[in-house]
């Protein structure tokens, strides 16, 4: 099947599955959670399989990097699964060029393999980084021109197929200030903290500029402005970015407080807010990577949400997040034999009313997917009462022409 035909087909599927009223309600609910306000319902998010997608071709990561239409098609498959779910998911695309975008600005060498997204293959020497100063105009550096090409393609394709406002664009994978610094300098940064702290602060300053510059550029291309819109697939109106901190959780709290916290704070403040994600360890494996950093995250004034993948006592850790009036973004591990309604009721017991969580539910099969939303909302009515707060409409999604 030709790429042009595949693009036509996936867009037709998206139009068929999209429900503008449901998507507006999903944006409203998600935005309320990040503002720490009550919504009519706490949003629950999942996708479903769409059999027609199996007829479309698949493209490897190298093909997607070099051809924005192929990247568009692969991302649209996920968008269709979200649109078809009937859940509170929104559909959103990006320039899906991997985690290398920040380091590439500094001159890190990258490879674009077929089996995974682009990776850094050679770090930047310390001698180069010591005096490095990132320019205001990022065009021509690293992957930026490729990012612009993809964002402009995706915006034009959505517009041409009547999908703007139904499917959004969001910033590319900008990682976070320390993730950028670590991927640029390499593992030697972990001894630089002790041997050359002044250099680390310089690199963190430049990495923060890289995070802000890339995020701002791609959010402008997305058309929603810097302080609202899709933040990596979640709708915000009191901020507009996701920050990753996969490398930051490897640090001690003392080192993190001195060398990372000020730069995370500065980066999120630029956008009026955002949410933080980190990966690490084994989900539900009883491990605790990152938990020692949570008290420091809680000190970031513009942190609106937190997502993590290792919780040890997951319920207790989520409760700590909610006690700080920060939205929890993610799932709660489900016991193997736990019934759907018992599971949903246990999750709702954490919430201080109809607020505080963007819940990524663990569903076992199509039968559960068919009844999950009705059960979730009925349980909220039973838990919190049937009277719901006045609905406040979100501002309409901006359009790029």
- Domain at 241, CATH number: 3.20.20.210
In a domain, 400, yes or no: no
Q: Average pLDDT of 90-102?
A: 97
309: pLDDT strictly greater than 90 = no
Residue 401 in domain: no
The predicted-structure confidence for 207-262, as pLDDT tens digits, reads as follows 999 999 999 999 999 998 899 999 999 999 999 999 999 999 999 999 999 999 99
Give start and end residues of each alpha helix (H) in 228-365: 253-259, 261-270, 294-297, 314-323, 340-348
Contact 358, 329 (CB under 8 A): yes
Give the number of other Cβ atoms within 10 Å of residue 71's Cβ.
23
Q: Which pLDDT score is estimated for 224? A: 86
| Residue at 399 is within a domain | no
Specify which residues 276 forms β-bridges with.
243, 306
Query: Contact 290/310 with Cβ under 8 angstroms?
Result: yes
In a domain, 17, yes or no: yes
| Angstrom distance (rounded) from CA 54 to CA 66 | 23
Q: Using the CB atoms, write b or e for 314-337: b if 16+ within 10 Å.
A: beebbebbbeeebbbbbbbebeee
- Given this model, what pLDDT does residue 388 score? 53
Mean pLDDT of 135-162: 98
pLDDT of residue 281: 64
pLDDT of residue 313: 86
Expressed as residue numbers, the domain containing 242 is 3-384
In a domain, 391, yes or no: no
Indicate the burial class of 377 (C-beta count within 10 angstroms; 0-12, 13-18, 19 or more). Answer: middle
Query: Under 8 Å CB-to-CB from 175, ≥6 apart: which residues?
Result: 99, 101, 102, 183, 211, 243, 244, 246
| pLDDT at residue 395 in the model | 46
Residue 24 lies in a domain: yes
- Residue 392 counted as domain residue: no
pLDDT digits (tens, 9 = 90+) for 31-62: 999 999 999 999 999 999 999 999 999 999 99
Question: How many independent structural domains does the chain possess?
Answer: 1
End-to-end CA distance of the chain: 29
Quote the pLDDT of residue 282. Answer: 62
pLDDT of residue 181: 98
| Mean pLDDT taken over the chain | 94
Q: Is the pLDDT of residue 387 over 60?
A: no
The reported pLDDT for the residue numbered 280 is: 75
Residue 400 reports pLDDT greater than 80: no
Structural domain contains residue 397: no
pLDDT digits (tens, 9 = 90+) for 313-327: 889 999 999 999 999
Helices (runs of H) and strands (runs of E) counted in the chain:
16, 12
């Amino acid at each position: 099947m030709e790429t042009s035909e595949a693009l036509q087909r996936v867009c037709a599927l998206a139009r068929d599955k999209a429900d503008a009223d449901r998507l507006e309600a999903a944006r409203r609910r998600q935005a309320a959670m990040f503002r720490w306000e009550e919504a009519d319902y706490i949003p629950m998010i999942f996708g479903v399989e769409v059999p027609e997608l199996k007829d479309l071709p698949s493209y490897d990561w190298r093909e997607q990097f070099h051809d924005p239409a192929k990247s568009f098609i692969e991302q649209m498959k996920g968008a269709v699964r979200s649109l078809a779910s009937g859940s509170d998911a929104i559909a959103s695309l990006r320039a899906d060029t991997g985690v290398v975008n920040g380091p590439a600005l500094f001159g890190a060498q990258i490879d674009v393999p077929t089996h995974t997204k682009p990776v850094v293959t050679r770090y930047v020497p310390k001698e180069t980084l010591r005096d490095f100063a990132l320019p205001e105009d990022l065009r021509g550096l690293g992957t930026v021109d490729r990012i612009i090409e993809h964002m402009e393609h995706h915006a034009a394709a959505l517009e041409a197929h009547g999908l703007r406002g139904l499917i959004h664009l969001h910033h590319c994978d900008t990682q976070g200030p320390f993730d950028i610094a670590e991927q640029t300098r390499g593992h030697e940064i972990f001894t630089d903290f002790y041997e050359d702290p002044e250099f680390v602060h310089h690199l963190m300053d430049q990495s923060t500029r890289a995070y802000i510059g890339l995020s701002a550029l791609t959010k402008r291309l997305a058309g929603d402005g810097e302080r609202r819109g899709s933040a990596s697939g979640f709708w915000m109106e009191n901020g507009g970015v996701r920050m990753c901190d996969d490398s930051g959780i490897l640090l001690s709290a003392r080192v993190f407080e001195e060398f990372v916290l000020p730069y995370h704070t500065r980066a999120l403040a630029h956008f009026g807010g955002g949410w933080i994600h980190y990966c690490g360890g084994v989900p539900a494996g009883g491990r605790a990577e990152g938990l020692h950093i949570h008290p420091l995250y809680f000190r970031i004034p513009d942190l609106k949400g937190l997502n993590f993948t290792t919780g040890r006592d997951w319920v207790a850790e989520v409760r700590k997040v909610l006690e700080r009036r920060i939205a929890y973004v993610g799932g709660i591990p489900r016991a193997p034999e736990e019934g759907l309604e018992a599971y949903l009721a246990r999750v709702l017991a954490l919430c201080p009313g109809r607020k505080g969580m963007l819940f990524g539910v663990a569903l076992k099969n199509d039968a559960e997917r068919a009844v999950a939303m009705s059960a979730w909302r009925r349980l909220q009515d039973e838990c919190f009462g049937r009277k719901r707060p006045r609905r406040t409409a979100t501002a309409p999604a901006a359009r790029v022409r």
